[in-house]
Structure 1
Amino acid sequence: MWFNLIAIFVLGIAVAGSVMLGFKAFGRKPPRWILPIAAGIAMMTYTLYNDYSWFSRTAGALPQSVAVARSYEQTNPLQPWTYLFAPVNRFVAVGRVVPAPGETGYRMAEVHLLQRYVPTVTATMVFDCAGGRRADLVDLDGFDEAGEPIGGRWQPLTPDDPLRSVVCAEGGGPPSA
């Protein structure tokens, strides 16, 4: 976040300096209003580009073995234009999907929670595709001999849940790494 703020100010100064040099090259004096307007337009353009392209740049940098399951848009009262076109500032991606231990038919998946300006969190979850539920592996005490999770709290999943759609897809989600 601090890097972006510094980059925005440096960009504003660089654009104002370039405009001033352009006027000097033609032997003219720039109007007083042109430098702050040019710097402001450049800073605003960079901010909009950075906000609205974060999701595509971040998701595009993920390995092919990771599939984006869901994205979330967010509005901000300090950026009123986000009420018209809200940028995506967080998303959920599914990495490696493997069968859970035992003959239960459960699947274990690495679920990555990515949010702008926040470190990425990766959690391993167990999915019961037939039963429409999931449990976080951190809540579990392991698996019993039959492959049933011990001590986990199952969370219900709706049939159209994006995580369920990716993990329980016919092929088993994204390619295993």
Structure 2
Amino acid sequence: MFWDLVGTVFSGLGAAGIALLLRSLSRKRLPSWLILVFAGAGMMAYQIYGEYTWFEHKQSLLPAGSVVLETHDVKLPWRPWSYLFPQTLEFTVLDQANLRRIEADGEQIVEMVIYRFERRTYDRVAIEPQLLNCQTGDLVPLTEQGQPRLELTTRIELDSRLAQLTCRQDEAINQ
């Protein structure tokens, strides 16, 4: 957040400098308020650029073996340009490189970690360890100690992207 503030200030100063240059080249025929307009437009352009490149930047920082499962694009009334070009402010990632496969009672279980990234005033990352039963589609969150929270079990479709990415190798072994 600090570097966003620094970038915003310098973008405003740079754009104001361009307005000052244009004003001096026109022998001060251009109005002085143009400097403020350029400064504001420069700061706003930097913020919009940061919002639209956030997802690609975060995605480039992910380690090898990470797969983006889904993105959440939003349209916000206080950002009217987002109606034309929706912004990605949240996305979910599967750490495919660290899947752990377990066989219990003849069923294939996959232990995995899912990360949820959110862009707010500050970036937020939620780490969600989970178990997936590849035969039934039961998805069970784990506690910090690694214990299943059976009361929060949900069922996903076996043809969902998550099931395909985690159970794909299990199906090849069973055939």
Taking structure 1 as the reference length, the TM-score comes to: 0.77
**Higher-strand-fraction structure:** 2
Q: Which residue of 2 aligns with 1:168?
A: 167
Kindly provide the amino acid, as one letter, of the partner of residue 163 in structure 1.
L
Taking structure 2 as the reference length, the TM-score comes to: 0.78
Q: How does 1:122-137 map to 2 (within 5 A)?
A: 122-137=127-142
1:27, distance to aligned residue in structure 2 (A): 8.1
Distance (whole Å) between structure 1 residues aligned to residue 46 and residue 163 of structure 2: 37
Greater relative CO (CA pairs within 8 A, separation 6+): 1
Structure 1 residues 8 and 59: alpha-carbon distance in aligned structure 2, compared to 1, 3 A threshold: same
1:36, distance to aligned residue in structure 2 (A): 2.1
Deviates more, 1:97-106 or 1:51-60: 97-106
Deviates more, 1:73-82 or 1:154-163: 154-163
5+ residue gaps, structure 2: none
1:43, distance to aligned residue in structure 2 (A): 1.9
Cα distance per residue 1:60-105 (max 9 Å; x no partner):
1111211111111122111122122211011010002110364531
Q: Is the 2:74–2:89 Cα contact (8 Å) retained in structure 1?
A: yes
1:113, distance to aligned residue in structure 2 (A): 0.9
Cα distance per residue 1:5-45 (max 9 Å; x no partner):
45323321232134324654x58335323212322332222
Distance (whole Å) between structure 2 residues aligned to residue 138 and residue 68 of structure 1: 23
Q: Secondary structure at the match of 1:169?
A: helix
Q: Which residue of 2 aligns with 1:152?
A: 150
Deviates more, 1:128-137 or 1:4-13: 4-13
Distance (whole Å) between structure 2 residues aligned to residue 21 and residue 121 of structure 1: 47
Distance (whole Å) between structure 1 residues aligned to residue 26 and residue 37 of structure 2: 21
Q: Which residue of 2 aligns with 1:32?
A: 32
Structure 1 residues 60 and 171: alpha-carbon distance in aligned structure 2, compared to 1, 3 A threshold: farther
Q: Is the 1:67–1:93 Cα contact (8 Å) retained in structure 2?
A: yes
Deviates more, 1:54-63 or 1:92-101: 92-101
Q: Is the 1:140–1:152 Cα contact (8 Å) retained in structure 2?
A: no
5+ residue gaps, structure 1: 143-148, 173-177
Q: Which residue of 1 aligns with 2:124?
A: 119
Q: Which residue of 1 aligns with 2:101?
A: 99
Kindly provide the amino acid, as one letter, of the partner of residue 54 in structure 1.
W
Q: Which residue of 2 aligns with 1:59?
A: 59
Q: How many residues align?
A: 164
Identity of aligned residues (%): 23
